[in-house]
Structure 1
Amino acid sequence: MITLAYTNIFTADIDRLANFYGELFGLDEIVESRSPLFRGFTAGGSSIGFSAPGAYDLLGLSPQEGPGDRVLQTFDAPDADTVSTLTEKAIALGATLVKEPFKTYYGWFQSVLRDPDGNAFRINFRGKFE
């Protein structure tokens, strides 16, 4: 089975964005991978990384141009109350609320926000929500 090892977000300020997600979700930094171009954190069975613009050249990539969301990160919470608590904490840390916590058509409970860079992310509870 293939597993997801990392998901990375490019940002002009890796310290600011890494600190936002690290503090919001209580993630542990993978200190040995820290560099001027990268900060990484364990996030359950995979990891999340934050790459500075210099990483584009290192990876042979070019920044994508144009409007629109290209990535949506989803972070699972253990229960619906935690979704609401983390949503409020995210706003206090500088996130923008897109959609208040709601019950999805498939029975999960989630909120939709934008981080300080404007990247969309969800806080989600997969369990049965009444």
Structure 2
Amino acid sequence: MVALSYTNIFTADIDRLAEFYSRLFDLQEIVESRSPIFRGFTTGGSSIGFSGPSAYDLLGLAPQEGVGDRVLQTFDVSGEGEVRALTERAGELGATLVKEPFKTYYGWYQSVLRDPDGNAFRINFQGSAS
């Protein structure tokens, strides 16, 4: 089985965005990976990283051009109440609410938001389908 080890978000301000997510989800920093262009945090079975613009050159990539969402991060929590509480907390920390907490057709309960950089993410409880 393949396992996702890291997902990274490119940002012009790694400190601001790393602080947003670490404060919202109480993430622990992987201090050994800290550099002027990167911050990494554990998130359970995988990790999330925040890469500064200099990382594009390091990785041989070019910034994406044009508008539109290209990725959607989903953060699982333990219950519907936690979805609601973290959605409210995200707003206090600078996120923009896209969609209030709702039950999906497949039985999950989630909210959709944008972080301070405008990246879409979900706060999700994988409830049982009923």
Tell me which interval the TM-score lies in, with the shorter structure as reference length.
Answer: over 0.9
Q: Show the 5 A alignment for 1:19-34.
A: 19-34=19-34
Query: Which residue pairs with 2:56 in the alignment?
Result: 56
Query: Which residue pairs with 1:2 in the alignment?
Result: 2
Query: Which residue pairs with 1:110 in the alignment?
Result: 110
Q: Which runs of 5+ in 1 are unaligned?
A: none
Amino acid corresponding to residue 99 of structure 1 in structure 2: K
- 1:77–1:125: 8 Å Cα contact kept in structure 2? yes
CA RMSD of aligned residues (A): 1.0
- 1:91–1:97: 8 Å Cα contact kept in structure 2? yes
Q: Secondary structure at the match of 1:87?
A: helix
Q: Secondary structure at the match of 2:91?
A: helix
- 1:104–1:110: 8 Å Cα contact kept in structure 2? yes
Q: Secondary structure at the match of 2:69?
A: coil
Q: Which runs of 5+ in 2 are unaligned?
A: none
Query: Which residue pairs with 2:46 in the alignment?
Result: 46
TM-score relative to the length of structure 2:
0.98
Query: Which residue pairs with 1:93 in the alignment?
Result: 93
Query: Which residue pairs with 2:12 in the alignment?
Result: 12
